[in-house]
Amino acid sequence: MTGTDPTPDQPSSPQPSHRPLVAILSGAGISTDSGIPDYRGPNGVWRRDPEAEKLVTYDAYMADPEIRRRSWRMRQDSPAFRARPNAGHEAVARLERSGTPVRVLTQNVDGLHQLAGVPPRKVLELHGTIRAVTCTRCHARSSMEEALARVAAGDPDPACLVCGGILKSATVMFGEHLDPQVLGTALGVAKAADVFLAVGTTLQVQPAASLAGVAAEHGARLIIINAEPTPYDALADEVVREPIGSALPELLADLA
């Protein structure tokens, strides 16, 4: 045989380099720049009006028609339906578009990550969504927009159109458990993440808060961006107290 034999185990083209999996756990603080107040911060909703917590407590909601009527009025006035994504949400969407593997684990129910352009399949809504309602009896699901239209038309406590049961927003109320499938998927993401950012969350609400600890235990670089101290700061590789709207875009640009 003449000529030079090819080397069989030498790749003909460069192999793709590993791109780190970036998991982002977002809390209420990422949405305050969009005009949605947080709940547990110094000026949070629950601190200003402890009675408001009853409106999102399952047992109180189910037992008291007046609380349900107040809840529907609160939903009508919620700034979340008028809110638009801000610089923080847009930075996350840019990172995802760059080709970096991104998964968003959000404690928020406002849907702003998806509105910013993150594909819904890459967003795990740990506490549900305000953009849908569900029946507490037959579990039929429909749009919040349709339910609020019925309230505006004069029905202060709209019942399920399928079975007549009590409707609630498709959010996880106090006293309810997180969806085990959603939580299980989130745990898998936390264990697999190379970089885990906790953004705008006090990391006090379990089990969502524990995802930061799980990620750190499995070797992720843990970055916490929050105005106030959190119980997981000691585990973090980096703690950032700067405003999210400026700090998060800068951090994520470095990861793209």
Catalytic residues: 127
Q: Are the CB atoms for 224 and 213 separated by under 8 Å?
A: no
**If DSSP states are collapsed to H, E and C, what string results for the chain?**
CCCCCCCCCCCCCCCCCCCCCEEEEECHHHCHHHCCCCCCCCCCHHHHCHHHHHHHEHHHHHHCHHHHHHHHHHHHCCHHHCCCCCHHHHHHHHHHHCCCCEEEEECCCCCHHHHHCCCHHHEEECCEEEEEEEECCCCCEEEHHHHHHHHHCCCCCCECCCCCCEEEEEECCECCCCCHHHHHHHHHHHHHCCEEEEECCCCCCCCCCHHHHHHHHCCCEEEEECCCCCCCHHHCCEEECCCHHHHHHHHHHHHC
126 by Cβ neighbours in 10 Å (0-12 / 13-18 / 19+) ranks as: buried
